[in-house]
Amino acid sequence: MRGFLLGLAIVGLLIGIGLTTSQPDESGAARPAGPRPAAVIVAAVQHQQFSDAIEALGTTRALESVDLSPTVTERVSEILFADGSYVEAGQLLIRLDDAVERAELAAARARKREKFRKLERVGQLLEQRNASAAELDIAVAELDAASAAVELAEAALLDRSLRAPFAGHLGLRRFSVGALVQPGDVLITIDAIATLNVDFTVPASRLAGLEASLPLRVRSAAFPGHEFQAELSAIGTQVDPVTRSLNARAILANADLHLRPGMFVELEILAARRDSLAVPESAILARSDQRLLFIHADGLAQRRVVETGSRRNGMVEVIRGISAGEEVVIHGGAKLSDRQSVDVIAVHDGTATVAELLRKAAR
């Protein structure tokens, strides 16, 4: 009886073991049982441009800027512009009272014509031997003096006209017709702002990474969420012995005139640009002092220790540890172990968020 009961116990144990170690698959055959595959979302390793960013604070400056002032004391007779308007180089903006100067110019031109006719007469007489060479020299000198007087009168008339020295936008005028102005009075400011200079300082310790034509990203609190593109144009020659920094300047295209001179801006200089492998930030896991991720291959999760670099727009630069074309786990990897079975429920290609992919997979 005791032997019979022992036999039943052994048979039951074997049956129990069989039930826990195998189960039928779809064909009816037994297959090994194990933990259920972990549901994950994967993304392909891709190439992306990275750089070592140098951050700085700067101020915008007009590419060209000038305060127009008269060179003579006179009354304003005509204003030929509207406040804030765009003007071309050489465009007449302000005319001062020039009646006297026009009359003097007319008189100087008349004297020049008289001296020219006298020179012609002396020349004819000299050919007929009725005049001397000395008389001819006097006539030439008188004509030269009359010509100089015309140029002087033209310059005096020109001083009564203020023109735009370059193309740009005008500020707000500070005078009216009839006002008496004098040298040193700022009548109007003209700025070329379709292109701006951005002046800033950088630590001397980052000098090795700076060179002309480096791209910059520029941000202004006046336009949140918007980035302006600029280019490093010049680097100062001297390092400030107190701050250990040096001046630098960038050129910024401002055709839409969003930015104005004197604005405070934040800059990011994109130094040491390079093409690197990149993965989404969610793929990187921190374990102790290591950075690792999981690669999906043949239905299994493979643990990889990686070396990371810069971060940009939700992507992480991976210096070593992965290869182009591999798939990394970006969701569901926190509880994975090496060689664990996984079930890929979605592939992230950037067209939808992870949350959207999860909702779609749950339907």
Distance CA 111, CA 153 (A): 12
pLDDT at residue 34, as a whole number? 55
Kindly provide the b/e burial profile for residues 85-103, where b requires at least 16 CB atoms within 10 angstroms of the residue's own CB. ebbeeeeebbbbebeebee
Q: What is the DSSP letter of 282?
A: G
Kindly list the distances between the CA atom of residue 342 and the CA atoms of 37, 262, 339, in Å, as whole numbers in the listed order: 4, 57, 9
pLDDT at residue 312, as a whole number? 81
SS3 11: helix
pTM beyond cutoff 0.75? no
pLDDT at residue 39, as a whole number? 92
Nearest one of 189, 162, 186, 164 to 65, comparing CA atoms: 189
The CA-based diameter of the chain, rounded to the nearest angstrom, is 170
Instruction: Taking the CA atoms of 322, 270, 52 and 265 in sequence, report the sign of the dihedral they define.
Output: negative
pLDDT at residue 29, as a whole number? 43
Amino acid at 136: L
Which tokens sit at 253?
Answer: 């295209």
Distance CA 233, CA 242 (A): 24
> Cβ contacts of residue 141 below 8 Å, gap of 6+?
none
Kindly list the distances between the CA atom of residue 153 and the CA atoms of 75, 147, 232, in Å, as whole numbers in the listed order: 18, 10, 47
Residues of the chain with pLDDT under 50: 1-33
pLDDT at residue 270, as a whole number? 85
